[in-house]
Amino acid sequence: MSFLGSFVRDSVVYAIPSMISRGLSIFLVPLYTRVLTPDDYGALDLLTAFASLVNLTVALEVSQGVARYYAGEQNTDRKVVYASSAFWFTVFCYTVFLVVSLFFSSELAILVMGRDGLEVYFQIGVISIGLNGIFYLIQNQFRWELRSRHYAVVSIIVSFVTAGLAVTLAYILKWGLKGLLYGMVGGALVGCIYGLWHLRNSFRFRFQWKRLKEMLLFSAPLVPSGVAVFISHYIDRLMIKHYLSLHEVGLYGIGFRLASVVGLIMVGFQGALTPLVYAHYRDPQTPRQLAQIFRLFLVFALMVFVILSLFAEEILVLMTTRAYYSAAQIVMFLIPAILLSNMYIFAPGIGIAKKTHLILWINLFGAGLNTLFNLLLIPIYGISGAAAATLMGYSCVFVVYMRCSQKFYFVPHEWKRIVIAVILLSGLAYLVPQLSLSTWLVIALKLVGIVAALLVVLLTGLIRMSELRNLQDLIK
């Protein structure tokens, strides 16, 4: 099957669990806002930030080393050695992390979660972080082996187990934040068990330092880069906590959760694209097809951006309590910020050329910009300033990523069409919610805005009618 055909088929498979996961995430918003105060949600968001830092650094991003060497290795036995060495190294790293974190939990709980009295919650959270770190490696192994259906199944299982336990423990049994954290532990544990069973021929009692060293030489430069990514992702929450309060962190977190629905598009593309690019980048047709995939992605991303931006207030009124309504003001900024933070997958040249040291410098640049923008804007504009700062920072990082990638692996993107569509749809998403009209008239105008967005996508040529007709054939 061609690169493009394989991509479309696999991206649909990867998108299914993502859609379910994001759907459940939105389903849980009413639960979060009814069992957690904004302060509690802020503490949970800070714990999530800590989890991201741990997952980026503790195992030295060895999973990315597996991605680089596993797909191109022809020897079956050596494939097993690569996968197994990475697995046992990851288990060791997270075991050390758990021991240290639990031993110093009383001190770390205050530092991480922002207030006293949360030591038990931190301990449960740390167990969840360790299990999720191991699950992340297991889940990615399905991607590197191009077993997209198993990836989808394990992702769906984890989503449903996590959500089911969270609803039962936090809402029905009224355990609150503790119930939500136990739900995360249960989901990750079930995911690890399922994944290890189905990858029992890949993960064995094998370990070679030589193979691990190869992978770490590729992935280790990504660790400081990972710290920079963490700063870019979470400096907004940390500075909101510093300049404002946990209450505002909670509001920002709910706005971010709504905006993160756009990730359902990203994961489908991300799950399928990276392994396929590494497998097919030598094919002369791949750059042209990659440009087509990028335009297809932008069509879906821009439509979701317009819909969520137009109806952010209505969604929050429907799904949350009054304490969270003001989060609507930041959704428009956070949707493109979330997209841009993950769109490096469309700039594969750096990875193909094995110039991973450039990723470090790009992410350090982004972290510095995000920090500067947040320092300047949060004291003046509050959480809206944080959201705008995050968008500005990620926009700059994406531009640098793409320029560097194009030098090593040129892809013929149609930038004029893309820029025109982005400007027009951004203007639409910003201006319509500003109108002071009656409720039903505003809703009608927003529906018209969605139709207008579709016309913009077609008239700018961001996607062709012939491409729409071909999508179904490609999936088949």
What local confidence, expressed as pLDDT, does residue 161 receive?
A: 95
pTM of the model: 0.78
**Which helix (DSSP H) or strand (DSSP E) does residue 28 occupy?**
none
CA distance 265 to 276: 17
pLDDT value of position 262:
82
At CA 298, angle to CA 279 and CA 259, rounded to 5?
110
* Model pLDDT, residue 15: 67
Q: Residue 371: which residues within 8 A CB-CB, separation 6 or more?
A: 231, 235
Residues in the chain: 476
Tokens 């088949």 belong to residue: 476
Q: What is the pLDDT of residue 305?
A: 94
pLDDT recorded at residue 67: 83
> Residue 425 has what pLDDT?
94
How far is 135 from 130, CA to CA, in rounded Å? 9
pLDDT of the residue at 391: 96
Amino acid symbol at 389: A
Buried b (16+ CB within 10 A) or exposed e, 370-383: bbebbeebbeeebb
pLDDT of amino acid 217: 87
- Which residues in the chain come in under a pLDDT of 70? 1-15, 18, 267-268, 270-272, 465-476
pLDDT digits (tens, 9 = 90+) for 283-309: 888 888 888 888 888 998 999 999 999
